Structure 1
Amino acid sequence: MKKHYRSDKNCLNCGTTVADKFCPNCGQENLELHENFFHLVLHSVGHYFHFESKFFNSIVPLLTKPGYLTKEYFAGRRASHLNPFSMYISISILFFFLFTANSNSNKEDIMEESTAKEENTVTKAEEAKTIVSNALPEKTGSNTYNLINNSRAATGNQNDTIIFTNPIAAEADTTDRFTIAGYDVPVRSLNAKYRDVMDDELSKQLFVNKLTSHLPKMMFILLPLFALILKMVNFRSKKLYAEHLVYSIHVHSFLFLFGSILIVLKWLLPFLSGWIMFAGFVVGIWYIYRSMRNTYRGSRWLTVYKFFTLAFAYTFLMLLSGFVVVVATLYTI
């Protein structure tokens, strides 16, 4: 996009003389104020999403050169690339937007399949009624339906199937108890709470939506923990924690961006969904290994050892934090 620069050499922001395109004092670009609507929109969008050289100088190496951006950052060549934190936030927003849209799409497919099964069940129940009425005498059949209708009225069960339950199990206490200040306080067990949420369609959808909204926060918290694990795994390295953190940001940015591409490919090629996910898993493992090798300059087998140590520790943290988020979400809806 061609920019229009002012012929005057005074900075409109601080008044300093501008020798070139940017103010040497405050850094403001000496752009012409009177631009048409088209240039104004393009400039605003390009500035916000970095649709300039920085964008392509960062995104292309991020996808094709594992560890390159981290080395460039600490070599001092930073002006040519996107800021790691800004890039991570932008890419994570894109990923979780697509992830949510994909989850909603899968939910619609499941609901359609569930509706088809319910319709099939109703059809079979009607067929069963016809068979019973044809096989039994008229009086017996009438008494049978009266018995079913009476049981429905008594139990409130409108299904066509009679379910026998164990009365002892049905009356079992589903609460745990603990003592506070001498009082016995009943608390619903986690399993019972989960069943209640899953049995109600509205509560289930609310639970899924809130859980999905918590995932970006969880990943943002795990980001510095990933860097801390890297610091511990590479304890003999002279790299500072900040260097491990920047590497961690670049790795997660790649995973989110690559995950976004996989989601789009699944939408375009649904018949290859399984192969796409398998290929994505293999590429993700290779990328992390290669980036560790390029960044920390270790031998092949030492890098493999560090990779599996990192994977084990990080997976444990993800499962633990995921469990905490699930429990917290269950008790806040």
Structure 2
Amino acid sequence: MKKHYRSENNCLNCDTIVTDKFCSACGQENLKLHDNFLHIVLHSVGHYFHFESKFFKSIVPLLTKPGFLTKEYFAGKRASHLNPISMYISISIVFFFLFTGNTQSNEKDILKEKAAKENTISKAEAEKAKAIIGNAVSEEAGDNTKSLQNNTKEATDSTSNYSASLISTKENGKNTSSLVNVGSLPVSLENKLEKVLDDKLSQQLFLNKLVSHLPKMMFILLPLFALILKLVNFRSKKFYAEHLIYSIHVHSFLFLFGSILIILDWVLFFLDGWLMFIGILIMLWYIYRSMRNTYRSSRWRTVYKFFMLALAYTFLMLLSGCIVVIATLYTM
């Protein structure tokens, strides 16, 4: 259908002089405001399928041609493909949505279950205390008082002896307590960890919060991954921005392929182990192949860089994972 352009040459969006059909400053098309319904619908559908075309021109090479999108981006062919950051964000949202569908439970239900459990425990303890008090009242007052005095004296003596032994041990520079490994963890962190490990509901809440922090952790690791690439390829003339774009494309593939694996696992659950094994092999091959195509190194030099990259990135992931775990424990 023929488009109806305005006769005026000022852009309605940024007020720049329009010399052709599109504004040279903001890119808005200089169309008339009052079009009929059919024209508006067709125009909108055209924009949608234009996006669809860019989507498939980006997703298919991302899956099948390692390193292709990175080379296209720095060759100047950017309008035909999705913006790398926008594509990464979209794919990561889908991946973490599917991932949390397997691991995350409803937090409100967990809190309700925890409150009910605590209420049940408190009632049971109250009944137990009531029974103990009833038995104590039924006994003779004189014997009960005498017994209490004896027990109190024994407990006091025992506590005094134990405290004295602890003080003596600390003075000698030794700690014989086997319940808490002092020095391995801060006391506050150790208490929170014990609380989580002792309660299944707390474990589930901890897991939910931990999973919710993973997208932030991965987004922070992106520039660090690019920095490692820059260090591993120190002889390369590529700028840091090129390593960053490559890093974004690689992570986009990993999240997209991971989403496909999760869906396949739901359908082919009886092949769970094989899917995971084959998926890891494909991911490793993809990273190797994309490095070979992007940095143009020899086969064995690429293998060497791949292992250096994997070693450094694994260390960073473990370090950042520990930080996220500690932060999650302190925010529970």
Taking structure 1 as the reference length, the TM-score comes to: 0.70
2:18 counterpart letter in structure 1: T
Question: Sequence identity of aligned pairs in percent?
Answer: 67
Equivalent residue runs for 1:1-333 within 5 Å: 5-9=3-7, 10=9, 11-13=11-13, 14=15, 16-17=17-18, 19-20=20-21, 22-30=22-30, 33=33, 34=35, 36=37, 43=44, 51-104=51-104, 174=180, 176=182, 187-190=187-190, 192-333=191-332
Deviation at 1:43, TM superposition (A): 3.9
The structure where helix makes up a greater share of residues is 2
Coordinate RMSD, CA, aligned: 3.4
CA contact (8 A) 1:174 1:189 kept: no
CA–CA separation in structure 2 for the residues paired with 1:313 and 1:101: 30
Distance 1:271 1:45, change over 3 A: farther
Larger RCO (CA within 8 A; separation ≥ 6): 2
Task: Please tell me whether the aligned partners of residues 175 and 189 of structure 1 are also in contact (alpha carbons under 8 angstroms).
Answer: no
Q: For residues 194 and 66 of structure 1, do their structure 2 counterparts lie closer, same or farther at Cα, with a shift above 3 Å needed?
A: same
Deviation at 1:324, TM superposition (A): 1.0
Shift of residue 307 of structure 1? 0.3
Q: In 2 relative to 1, CA 172–301 (structure 1 residues): closer, same or farther, beyond 3 Å?
A: closer
Q: Which runs of 5 or more residues in structure 2 are unaligned? A: 111-126, 133-161, 163-176
Residues 60-88 of structure 1 show CA distances to partners (whole Å, capped at 9, x for unaligned) of 11111000111111111111111111111
TM-score between the two structures when normalised by the length of structure 2: 0.70
Point out the structure with max Rg over C-alpha.
2
In the alignment of these two chains, the number of paired residues is: 264
Q: State the shift of 1:29 in Å.
A: 3.1
- What secondary structure sits across from 1:262 in the alignment? helix
Tell whether the 8 Å contact from 2:222 to 2:248 is kept in structure 1 after alignment.
Answer: yes
Residue 239 of structure 1 aligns to a residue in which SS? coil
Structure 1 unaligned segments of length 5 or more: list them. 112-148, 155-167, 179-185
Assess if the C-alpha contact under 8 Å between 2:227 and 2:243 holds in 1.
Answer: yes
2:103, 2:208 within 8 Å by CA — same for their partners in 1?
Answer: no
- Give the Å deviation of 1:268: 1.4
- Between 281-290 and 10-19, the greater mean CA deviation after superposition: 10-19
